Amino acid sequence: MQAANTGKRTVISIRPVFDSDRPKVYLETYGCQMNVNDSEVVVAIMQKAGYSVTKNIGDANLILINTCSVRDNAEQRVWGRLEYFRQEKKKRPNVSIGLIGCMAERLKESLLENNIVDVVVGPDAYRELPKLVEKTESGQKGINVLLSRDETYSDISPVRLDKTGVTAFISIMRGCNNVCAFCVVPYTRGGERSRNPETVLRELKELSDNGYREVTLLGQNVDSYSWKDVTFAGLLAMVAESAPEMRVRFSTSHPRDMTDDVLKTMAKYGNICNYIHLPVQSGSSAILQSMNRKYTREEYLQRIKTIREIMPDCAVSTDIIAGFCGETQKDHEDTLSLMREVGYDFAYMFKYSERPNTKAARHFKDDVPEDVKIRRLTEIIELQSELSLTSHKKDVGSIVEVLVEDTSKRSENDLCGRTPQNKTVVFPKGNNKIGDLVKIKITDCSQATLKGFAISGLLT
């Protein structure tokens, strides 16, 4: 980490080092936000071990793939990349290839049998990476897939790999104790452990010192965050108070564990965004029970009702699985009717993909035919498109606050960013720039995006 003396105070640089003299690591990341943040921890560990970062595969001494196992197609993508890296290895036999993350944890030693992969490291063993990579220099293989009860990497300042330096993640905890029947996470990331709030505030200050404008607190289930007597609501308040100039978001919440205190804390602090990602997975209580989600349809809807009572303008998104084991047409219709009742702003929607060794794989038959899964998923996606469009139409004519995150993908004359409700807005650049907080008058929308123009005067 390089310290810049700004006359008044020392700012720790948290950006990657691109140094031609050092050995170079090239890193590809797949999967969730947690994996994105883990890759930033991995780069910090490798930089401390003398490596620098490269975006060019051909220059890399070490190629790392941070993998995801949440669905079969996530792993299939990695197998495809490994075939590509097999060619790289043929051209440059001395390059080391490492497979890390959830797939490494799930498949372990079997990944060393394909003459491509030299190092396999699970999500809790990244501190071992430099030593294991060193072994490969003498032609040996390296592996560590031990899960930990207390590893949180809380002493490590992640090296931020994002392009624009506006938004960043802080992992406040690791692992999950919920064991939902369809999910591999408890097997690939282990049990829950929370970070000392002081280390979260240290990382927050590093982000603020480096000009970041928004932070997202990450956990598989943030609502079960717990450090001595500090609950998630307590941590959220500490973060909001410590960086009043920064927007605060968090993900992922759990319907059974979310407390009214969290909602009241959100309502109390203006810099905590009025947006909640609250996975429901299914609208049928029978399916929720076999999924081991530990709440019913009615309890979920009650949670939504409480959210709207405490924060009437809070946006809500969710996760939905179509075609879980034993799902009937009636169960599917329960999911559609719940979506209508909630009126989600956005949703991540998937068809059930059986994951080995999960509770569902061990106890249930994956009995919903593929064509039925696809038809039900299509109906869910179509309904959500309507709901998202309805949500966006309500914003037309309003003035929203947008944090500019990047240039629009469609036109370099346009900028894009998100509202506190996590809605994407595209608008003509004018004199605004990335990192600005801008007032936008919304004039039009699609189901995916809001469109408008900046009205005078930056917010800050």
The site for ligand SF4 (CB under 6 A) is made up of 176, 178-180, 183, 185-186, 220-221, 254
Q: How far apart are CA 223 and CA 231, in angstroms?
A: 8
Number of other CB atoms surrounding residue 120 within 10 Å: 25
Q: Which residue, 47 or 290, is less far from ligand SF4 as judged by CB?
A: 290
Instruction: Report CA-CA distances (Å) from 85 to 62, 77, 88, 117.
Output: 11, 13, 5, 9
Instruction: Say which amino acid occupies 274.
Output: N
Q: List all residues 6 or more positions away from 449 whose beta carbon is below 8 Å from its beta carbon.
A: 392, 424, 425, 426
**Of 72 and 444, which CB lies nearer to ligand SF4 in the complex structure?**
72
Q: Indicate the helix (H) or strand (E) that contains 29.
A: strand 24-29
For ligand SF4, the closer of residues 73 and 411 by Cβ is: 73
Please say which residue, 51 or 250, places its beta carbon nearer to ligand SF4.
250
Answer for the pair 167, 214: CB distance below 8 angstroms, yes or no. Answer: yes
Please, which residue, 96 or 220, has the CB nearer to ligand SF4? Answer: 220
Residue 178, Cβ neighbours under 10 Å: how many? Answer: 17
Please state, as a whole number, how many other Cβ atoms lie within 10 Å of the Cβ of residue 45: 18
Instruction: List phi, psi (to 5°) of 81.
Output: -65, -40
Q: Least distance in Å: CB of 368 to ligand SF4?
A: 19
Q: Pick between residue 286 and residue 396 the one whose CB is nearest to ligand SF4.
A: 286
Q: CB-wise, 190 or 234, nearer to ligand SF4?
A: 190
Nearer to ligand SF4, 84 or 348 (CB): 348
State the minimum distance, in angstroms, from the CB of residue 185 to ligand SF4: 4
- The position carrying tokens 């994105």 is 36
Q: In the complex, what is the shortest distance from the CB of residue 409 to ligand SF4, in angstroms, rounded to a whole number?
A: 30
Q: In angstroms, give the least distance from the CB of 67 to ligand SF4.
A: 16
Question: Cα angle at 210 between 124 and 224, to 5 degrees?
Answer: 40
**Residue closer to ligand SF4 (CB basis): 101 or 420:** 101
What is the C-alpha to C-alpha distance for residues 426 and 417, in angstroms, rounded to an integer? Answer: 7
For CA atoms 146, 149, 154, 158, give the dihedral sign. positive
> Both tokens of residue 33?
């936000």
In whole angstroms, how close is the CB of 321 to ligand SF4 at the nearest point?
A: 10
Least distance from ligand SF4 to the Cβ atom of residue 124, Å: 15
In contact, 125 and 146? CB cutoff 8 Å:
yes
Nearer to ligand SF4, 294 or 429 (CB): 294
CA 304/CA 251 separation, integer angstroms? 16
Burial 138-171 (b: 16+ CB within 10 A, else e): eeeebbbbebbeebbbbebbbbbbeeebbbbbbb
Q: Which helix (H) or strand (E) holds 380?
A: helix 370-393
Residue 231, SS3? Answer: strand
